[in-house]
């Protein structure tokens, strides 16, 4: 999951509503991290099921397929998603450590600066992209100088691994697995009709993506229906591109 700077959002007319993304996972993951974990997990399921149907079922006689293919594909999907969840969990830990190192560098730059202007410039490099759209130059400059009084005497925190990083990584893995379960259930519950199981799985996957987008819309005080449809459409487009490119 990329830990990039995000463009500042338009200030909502009302405070962000409580949602699953914030209530259940808010203590462990940022809502945006939860959103992408769910999206990537379901994308894996869609790519695997659609590719399996296209490259195997469409390329052969449906009578050649025994009832065990659904279970096999379900286990394959769970294994792939779990493996990628572990990779993302490790990336989460590394991202948290690097983010603390960056904050430590900023604190060190402020405390070793030769003048207030130099220190304020270091703070501005970190915060201007957030505050520039909603403040004037004079307001930001005054704010940065007010912050210096605290930053010059602040004690730097350890930048190494912390327990919260491991908990967050486990939350990432768990979210990956839980998010894909609705998609693999049809493969297990309809063992005698493999093509139908795949189609039901694909529909369920898109519904999960739509529900995630809808929840994100309520969380950010945007139109949840538009957000859900946009996310589901983008997910389907990415799957098609992936399949066309041999993914």
Q: Give 15-55 pLDDT, tens digit per residue.
A: 445 555 555 555 677 778 888 888 888 888 888 887 777 76
Q: What's the CA gap between 19 and 222, in Å, rounded?
A: 13
Provide the pLDDT for residue 150.
Answer: 81
Query: What's the average model confidence in pLDDT over 77-82?
Result: 90
Given a cut of 90, is residue 196 above it in pLDDT?
no
Which pair of structure tokens corresponds to residue 84?
């990628």
CB 177, CB 85: distance < 8 Å: yes
DSSP 62: G
Query: What's the average model confidence in pLDDT over 190-213?
Result: 85
DSSP 58: T
Task: Say which residue the tokens 């769910």 belong to.
Answer: 38
Provide the pLDDT for residue 55.
Answer: 64
CA 171 to chain centre: 12
Burial of 4 (0-12, 13-18, 19+ CB in 10 A): exposed
Provide the total of helices (H) and of strands (E) in the chain, helices listed first. Answer: 8, 0
pTM of the model: 0.70
Ranges 77-86, 87-96, 149-158: which has the least confidence = 149-158
Provide the pLDDT for residue 8.
Answer: 41
Spatial CA neighbour of 97 closest among 192, 173, 18, 163: 163
Task: Say which residue the tokens 């600066």 belong to.
Answer: 113
CB 52, CB 12: distance < 8 Å: no
Q: What's the CA gap between 203 and 141, in Å, rounded?
A: 52
Find the Cα–Cα–Cα–Cα dihedral 208, 213, 214, 217, rounded to 10°.
160
Which pair of structure tokens corresponds to residue 228?
């859900």
Spatial CA neighbour of 38 closest among 234, 233, 173: 173
Q: What percent of the chain is predicted at pLDDT more than 90? A: 13
C-alpha torsion sign, points 151, 154, 156, 162? negative
Provide the pLDDT for residue 16.
Answer: 47
Q: What's the CA gap between 167 and 189, in Å, rounded?
A: 33
CB 221, CB 12: distance < 8 Å: yes
């Amino acid at each position: 999951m990329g830990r990039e700077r995000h463009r500042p959002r338009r200030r909502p007319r009302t405070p962000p509503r409580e949602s699953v993304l914030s209530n259940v996972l808010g203590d462990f993951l940022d809502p945006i991290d939860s959103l992408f974990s769910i999206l990537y997990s379901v994308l894996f399921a869609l790519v695997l099921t659609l590719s399996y149907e296209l490259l195997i079922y469409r390329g052969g006689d449906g009578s050649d397929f025994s009832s065990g293919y659904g279970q096999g594909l379900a286990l394959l999907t769970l294994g792939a998603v779990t493996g990628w969840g572990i990779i993302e969990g490790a990336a989460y830990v590394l991202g948290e450590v690097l983010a603390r190192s960056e904050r430590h560098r900023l604190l060190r730059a402020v405390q070793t600066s030769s003048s207030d202007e130099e220190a304020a410039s270091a703070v501005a490099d970190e915060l201007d992209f957030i505050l520039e759209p909603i403040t004037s130059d004079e307001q930001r400059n005054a704010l940065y100088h007010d912050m210096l009084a605290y930053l010059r005497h602040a004690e730097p925190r350890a930048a190494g691994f912390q327990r919260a990083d491991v908990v967050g990584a486990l939350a990432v893995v768990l979210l990956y697995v839980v998010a894909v379960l609705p998609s693999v259930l049809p493969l297990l519950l309809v063992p005698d009709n493999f093509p139908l199981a795949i189609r039901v799985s694909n529909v369920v996957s898109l519904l999960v993506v739509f529900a995630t987008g809808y929840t994100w819309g309520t969380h950010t005080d945007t139109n949840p229906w538009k957000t859900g449809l946009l996310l589901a459409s983008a997910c389907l487009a990415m799957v098609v591109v992936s399949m066309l490119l041999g993914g």
